[in-house]
Amino acid sequence: MVYPGAVHSRFEHSLGVYWLAEEAVRTIEARQGLELGMERFDLETVKLAGLLHDVGHGPFSHMFEYALLPQILQGSKWSHEDMSLRMIDYMVDEHNIDIDPGCLKTVKELIVASEHFPHSDVKDKKFLYDIVANGRNGVDVDKFDYILRDTRACGLGCNFQFQRLMESMRVLGDEICYRDKEYLTIHKMFATRADLHRTVYTHAKVKAVELMLVDALAKADNFLRISSSIQDPAEFWKLDDSIVRTIETTTDQEVKEASDLIRRIRRRDLYRFCNEFSVPKDSLDHFKPIIPRDIVCSQKSGSVSLKEEDVAVSNVKIDLTRGRSNPLESVNFFKDYESAEKFTIQNSRISHLLPTFYQDNIVRVYSKRPELVEAVSEAFENFQLKTYGIKPQVHPTPEKKCRKILSP
């Protein structure tokens, strides 16, 4: 809807991670295979983990998991990683796949490695868990693939070269380490990922479409049986992005509200972006996500009385994968291939131009009805003044935008 070239699928991404996972294992094996006791089993399990790591994603991926499910299932702990494990078991049973139980167990462990670090129950070859889903420091082939794939599809520049990291990786102390001269390459990976989040994944129009999709899918939940399908792999696999077309084409009055929202998206009659602000750094410790009620309750008396259903709020957090911490502090480096010592490097030892803060929290407010943009914008400004004593937003909502929208 915003970047027309971004029509690639998670299947293509999974093939890319599969290939990169194999390249990573073969690179390490060529240098240290005998030393590390590497076997074909290691190659096969890591490749399979790369291929299958995302099979548990629902329709519209992260939007489904982090925006829709919390709305239709209060307190939901569902995750696509855990669903991937259940989908793998289902596929093996359903299709009578002959696979070694030990191999299957390891593949599943590798997929959820980022969620279950440190791997206290793994006795050796812990470095294999750094390849697909790295819970140690976030440097993994999953990111190598989607960063390059997404920047290219969206027509954005990318000066991150994953090949340099693949060529220099080495195992020291049972973890993958990198040449010290590649410090800035790793920083570029995290910085490019953050830039993708800011300019693509959380683009103001992208979030407007997502907010509308969430509202439409929530209204159609009973009809589509989304919430009743997410725990059963035999039903879950049937849920994909085509559920939007199902809403569009059905004549059932039960989904009329949802259908109307999808029609608005097709016509690009989107929720109207009013304004945004970045949460001040000194307020991050006690920041709680803003909800429509906060905006409505900040409205002063006027000709229009806002309701919660008139307002949509998007709370966006952008970081370098480790919240307000520098992820490079968890990456170990080595000097050269003759050295057996690993060490971390501080930003200040490399450049004083690197960031000293690593997280942004951005609050965006939308009006669901065009004629309410001015009222919602004013209430949003009042909320900022009441909460922070200042208006952190960069500029007011343009008057011409309000006038244009209010005109018949």
Residues with a known catalytic role: 80
Q: Enter the tokens of residue 329.
A: 């502090």
Angle, vertex CA 227, rays to CA 221 and CA 230, nearest 5: 135
Q: Enter the tokens of residue 308.
A: 């919660």
CA separation (Å) from 372 to 16, 206, 396? 45, 21, 15
274 three-state secondary structure: strand
Report d(CA 84, CA 89) in Å as an integer.
9
252 three-state secondary structure: coil
71 three-state secondary structure: helix
Report d(CA 160, CA 113) in Å as an integer.
24
Beta carbons within 10 angstroms of residue 145's beta carbon = 22
Q: Which residue has the tokens 């299957």?
A: 104
Report d(CA 348, CA 239) in Å as an integer.
48
